[in-house]
Each structure stands twice: as C-alpha cells, then as structure tokens.
C-alpha cells in the first residue's frame, strides 16, 4: 500500500494579503475609464440593460440582490423574474410609471476597464436630461425595441449624441427574444438606421442584436443568434478607443481653475489638461493676454511629474512672473487657440421659458464666465427630417443655430475640435438656472474686423462742457402709472436749472427706432436693448437721459444698468397698483386687453417684474405728479 502524504495547509499571512490588495489596486488604478450613455425611446430597455451589465459584472452586493429580488416581485414588470431596471430607476415616480426621469449614473468594472454609465430618459419631455448625461460621454448605446424599429426619439437622441461630439455609437437592437431572434428584423432596423445616420453625419456605428432581459449578446455571444458574427456588447465596450486617448494627440490646452499660492515661495496654476501633452521645459502661452513662459515644474499630490497628458489634473509652475488667473487658458506657445467675442453656435434650449433674443445670460465655457446675448435664431432643426425651420425663438428641447456675442473676448476652439473650449452652458442671471447648452462653431469675421475706435474728446470732457454729471433716469412701471407725465415734469425742472437733458419716451421711440418691434416678450427685450444702447451713447455725450418705459423684466433693466458707468443708472419705480392704473386707462388699452383685442399686455396677460431695490420709489397714490417730480430732482441734483 503506497504511502499517502497529506499536504500541509497553506496559511496566508497578513503581509501576503496586503500585497494582493495593493497589486489589485495598482492594476485597477491604471485601467482606462469609459464613460457611456444609454439612450433611445421610452421603454426600449435602457435601465434593464444597465441592470444586466451590473449583474453580470458582479457589481451587486448580496443585500442589494436580495432587495432587488423582493422589489421585482412587488413592483417589477417581469413577473417572478428579476427586473434589472429597478437597479437603476431609483426615483419613486420612475418605479411607479416604469420610466426613467432623471439621469442615473452607475459605476462598474471588469478585468479590462472601468465604466461610468449614464441611464438617460427616453421621454421627449426630459430630453434636456439626456443632453446632460451625454455631455461627458465617450460612447452612446442607442437602444431600439426590435418590435418598433426606428422612432422619433431614436432620431432625436442620435442627432444630439452626434451633435455633442460622441463619435462611438452602438446600435443595440433590444428585445430580440420578443421577435424570435429574427435576423431579417435586425437587418431591416439596421438598414433604416443607416439611412438616417448617414443623413446626420454619423459615418460609422456598431450594430448588435441583444436581449437585456435574457442576457443575449451582453457579456458573451448567444446561441440564439448564430447568424451574428460581431462582438458581444461588453467585449466592444472593453476594447473601443476612448476620447481621452485621442485627445492626447491634440495641441496642449489647459483651462486654469485656480491659482495655487500656499506661501510666498510657491505660485502655480491648477487645472485639468484638456488636450495634448505638456513636459517640463515646454514653452507655453497664456490666453487671452498672449504672455509666454516656460514650464519649470508639473506638480501633483503624489509628487512632481516630467510629463502630463490629457485627463490629468496638475499644477504648472512657470519660469517667469506672468499674469495668469482663473478663466485663462494655458496652451502650446506655437499653436494657441483663438480668442473672440462673436460666434455662431448650436443651442439646445433646456428651460421651460422660451429663449429671449437680446436678453443677457451668463455664458460659462470651461472656467470662463462672461455675459452673452443671443440673436434671433438663424433656424431651428427638425430632428425627424433635418429640415431647417424659421424661428424667432427656441422653446423647451428645441435645437437651433444662432449668433451670440459676449461682453469680452473668450478663449475658444470649435466644439468639434475641443469639448472643453467649445462647449458652453447659458445661465439665467436672476434665477441662476441653467437654461441651455451649446456648441461653438466658429467666430464671426466681424469679431476680428470690427474694433473700438478711440476718440480724443472724452466723455468726461463732454460732461465738463455741460457742467453736469451724466446719468440715466430710468422710469419703469405699469401702463398708466404716470411714467411719461412725471418724466416730462422732471425734464422741465432740469431744463430750468440749465441742465442738458434728453427724454426717450416709450411710445415716441416706437415711431422710429423701434417701429419694427411688436410686444412679444422677445420684442420687448430687443426694444429695451436698443434704448439702452442709445442711452449709453447719450451719456457719453454728457447728457442726463430720461427714459419712460414699462420695461417689465428685471433682467433687461439690469442689462441697461451694466451698460452704464457705475452710479449713472438710476432706477425710478413709478409704483401704481394695477387697479389704479387700469382705472385711469387714458389710452383705453386695459379695456382692449381685457376683451382680448390686445395681446401680450403687461399686467393682464404678460408679467411685470417690479424692481426689488430701486434707487427711487414713487407711490402715485400718495403724491401728485408735481410732488413726485420735485422729489426726483432733489435726489439727483444736489
């Protein structure tokens, strides 16, 4: 009988376990990251697909799995089987309705790559949420229900994904199990999508027949589709080239997020490298100033580097003391980006309120924040037909092309070349709500050809000749409040004091300068913008300008204030209750508005936003016009 020798059990020490953990973390840290979105029409199976990916990649803990199984039986849509969509649909409203409303982000990892996936809504109502998720994605998985084929939202999301710069497109024809894994159905959908994709500029995409519910062609090829010879979805996601790799081949660009000055001996400029590569000793240019220097150090939390690439967050130190601050862009000295203040852009409108051409918004691009105004759109895009439609404004989820101007030059590159320096958002100045996302195409030629002409006779000289301080007395209030009456009395009193004035009255201006404008919200904005520009020129001439306009929106009154020198804009609220103004109704306008003959009338079917902190408040129920004029003159003329 042969001897049987029992092997000694191998006991792993804490040190060996720690080594394995360190080795795992080292490998995990150096995996590439793919950000992708799932999009398409309602109920195409986006949430189910992501749930399946999380499940198959072993990214669900035991307690999560137990909760998922319980929720599937209670509120699931797959009978007694696991409803993978519940892993992603976290909002109560989403579970109740079986739809995705908000963008849900999930992380998972395989042996080859790390992933962040954004599950975006399919409803047209939530298209703005889809744009948010797509803005940082490298790849888009466009899902199509095999039973329904290419739908409106399929086209809309494909167009937006391409517009936002996603070049890796996966066409996932889902629910193949419900059409018997029919090859002809799959090929017919691919043919239809190819025709549409070609029309919007998508040159290439990867089509995969899948079943998110059953798991066909998700992590491995399915025996149910022997006619399909392409990769499984996971294999494709693990091997596709990410934008960060291609960004490294572009010229160096880094937007400055903050100036790092911990002590007197250190001064560096921190930010994330957007594109390209930077090495110690490289010559760089700071924009928009154009100053040049050389990189002496590349500092990170883990120590100095000799080189940094796209995607890394670093602090750069220069050989010279150059003026550089947040919002500036550091670039390769011999290949810098452009700077301009007028552009053509594509705008995706994301607010419930329509866009108002001429209204000033905050424009945030990279780390730069400036004031921008948008002109009337050149056209709006019909995403179903790609037809260019005439449009005076843009409403929720509308996509259009328009010119815009900023109050100072910004550093930029076309969005097609650089997302960081070409993509922007618009923010409402009053509410701080993000109202639009946009992509810059190019700067307008007039941005380079039109320059401010310096003059020898200054505004101070003009004011000195008149022995007065220029000012804009901006009367605002409801129709019938008494603005024109009081403004006229103020001008007469100032004239008797030998002051040089000019009265711009709302009705008078509409006879000439603004006779082409109506009374829609957009036209009201443009009306005030033009008057503001005229008032600014008049203050340059040293005049005291008196204006009498309803000017119903705070944003436009603030826009005019920003045009003037500090202290020159004096907002005067002629505060009259609506009932009192309507009782006067000298012109019979309220009566027409009440009967429906006059649309967009302030106070009736168009809002009036009263000043929150005017320089002068006049209560016309407590004083006569003469008394009001006397008070105003006493306040502005010492």
Q: Which residues are catalytic?
A: 551
Residue 612 DSSP label? S
Report the DSSP beta bridge partners of residue 570.
473
Q: What is the DSSP string of 379-402?
A: EEE-TTT--EE--SS--TT-EEEE
**Closest by alpha carbon to 476, among 579, 574, 584, 601?**
574
Assign 3-state DSSP to the chain and report helix, strand, coil percentages, each to 5.
Answer: 30, 30, 40
φ, ψ for residue 462, nearest 5 deg? -60, -45
Give the residue carrying structure tokens 């056209």: 379
The CA distance from 78 to 69, in Å, is: 11
| The token pair that represents 178 in the structure block | 């419900």
Q: Do 438 and 348 touch, CB atoms closer than 8 A? A: yes
Strands 368-374 and 303-305: unpaired
The CA distance from 598 to 520, in Å, is: 11
**Closest by alpha carbon to 46, among 4, 9, 85, 74?**
85
Which sign does the torsion angle of CA 551, 553, 559, 564 carry? positive
The CA distance from 282 to 335, in Å, is: 12
Q: What is the CA radius of gyration of the chain?
A: 31
- Residue 173 burial by Cβ neighbours in a 10 Å radius (0-12, 13-18, 19+): buried
**Closest by alpha carbon to 322, among 274, 283, 289?**
289
3-class SS string, 568-601: CEEEEEEECCHHHHHHHCCCCHHHHHHHCCCCCC
**Closest by alpha carbon to 274, among 291, 306, 298, 249?**
249
| The token pair that represents 346 in the structure block | 């594509």
Report the DSSP beta bridge partners of residue 617.
573
Number of residues in the chain = 638
Taking CA atoms, 80 is separated from 47, 71, 83, 257, 464, in Å, by 18, 10, 9, 52, 86
The CA distance from 511 to 368, in Å, is: 40
Report the DSSP beta bridge partners of residue 300.
303
The CA distance from 546 to 504, in Å, is: 6
Element (H, E) at 269: strand 266-275
């Amino acid at each position: 009988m042969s001897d049987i020798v029992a092997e000694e059990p191998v006991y792993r020490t804490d040190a060996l376990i720690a080594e394995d953990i360190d080795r795992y973390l080292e490998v995990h840290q150096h995996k590439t990251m793919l950000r992708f979105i799932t999009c398409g029409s309602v109920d195409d199976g986006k949430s189910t697909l992501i749930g399946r990916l999380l499940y198959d990649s072993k990214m669900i803990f035991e307690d999560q799995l137990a909760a998922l199984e319980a929720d599937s039986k209670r509120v699931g849509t797959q009978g007694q089987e696991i409803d993978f969509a519940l892993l992603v649909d976290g909002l109560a409203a989403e579970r109740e309705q079986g739809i995705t409303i908000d963008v849900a982000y999930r992380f998972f990892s395989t042996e080859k790559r790390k992933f962040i996936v954004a599950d975006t809504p399919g409803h047209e109502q939530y298209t703005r949420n889809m744009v948010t998720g797509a803005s940082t994605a490298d790849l888009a998985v466009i899902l199509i229900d095999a039973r329904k084929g290419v739908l409106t939202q399929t086209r809309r999301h494909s167009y937006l994904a391409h517009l936002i710069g996603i070049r890796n497109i996966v066409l996932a024809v889902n629910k193949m199990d419900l059409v018997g894994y029919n090859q002809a159905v799959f090929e017919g959908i691919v043919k239809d999508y190819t025709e549409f994709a070609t029309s919007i500029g998508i040159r290439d995409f990867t089509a995969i027949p899948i079943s998110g519910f059953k798991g066909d062609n998700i992590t491995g090829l399915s025996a149910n589709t022997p006619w399909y010879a392409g990769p499984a979805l996971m294999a494709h996601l693990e091997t596709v080239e990410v934008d960060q790799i291609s960004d490294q081949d572009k010229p160096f660009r880094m937007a400055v997020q903050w100036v790092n000055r911990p002590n007197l001996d250190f001064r560096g400029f921190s930010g994330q490298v957007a594109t390209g590569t930077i090495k110690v000793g490289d010559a760089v240019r700071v924009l928009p100033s154009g100053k040049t220097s050389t990189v002496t150090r590349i500092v990170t939390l883990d120590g100095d580097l000799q080189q940094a690439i796209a995607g890394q967050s670093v602090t750069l130190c220069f050989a010279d003391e150059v003026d550089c601050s947040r919002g500036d862009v550091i670039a390769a000295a011999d290949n810098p980006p452009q700077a301009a203040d007028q552009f053509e852009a594509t705008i995706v409108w994301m607010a419930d309120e329509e866009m108002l051409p001429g209204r000033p918004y905050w424009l945030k691009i990279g780390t730069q924040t400036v004031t921008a105004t948008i002109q009337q759109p050149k056209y709006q895009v019909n995403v179903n037909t790609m037809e260019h439609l005439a449009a005076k404004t843009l409403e929720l989820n509308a996509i259009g092309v328009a010119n815009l101007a900023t109050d100072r030059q910004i550093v930029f590159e076309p969005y097609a070349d650089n997302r960081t320096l070409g993509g922007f958002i618009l923010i409402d100045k009053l509410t701080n709500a993000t109202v639009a996302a946009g992509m810059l195409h190019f700067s307008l030629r007039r941005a380079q050809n039109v320059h401010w002409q310096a003059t020898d006779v200054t505004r101070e000289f003009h004011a000195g000749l008149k022995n007065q301080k220029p000012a804009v007395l901006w009367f605002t209030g409801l129709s019938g409040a008494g603005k024109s009456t009081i403004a006229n009395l103020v001008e007469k009193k100032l004239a008797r004091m030998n002051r040089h004035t000019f009265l711009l009255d709302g009705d008078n201006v509409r006879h000439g300068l603004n006779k082409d404008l109506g009374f829609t919200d957009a036209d009201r904005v443009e009306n005030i913008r033009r008057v503001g520009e005229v008032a600014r020129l008049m203050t340059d001439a040293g005049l005291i300008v008196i204006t009498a306009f309803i000017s119903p929106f705070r944003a436009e009154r603030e826009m005019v204030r920003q045009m003037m020198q500090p202290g020159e804009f004096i907002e005067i609220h002629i505060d009259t209750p609506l009932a009192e103004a309507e009782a006067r109704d000298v012109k019979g306008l309220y009566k027409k508005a009440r009967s429906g003959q006059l649309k967009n009338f302030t106070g009736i079917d168009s809002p009036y936003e009263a000043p929150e902190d005017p320089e002068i408040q006049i209560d016309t129920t407590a004083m006569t016009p003469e008394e009001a004029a006397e008070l105003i003159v006493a306040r502005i003329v010492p």
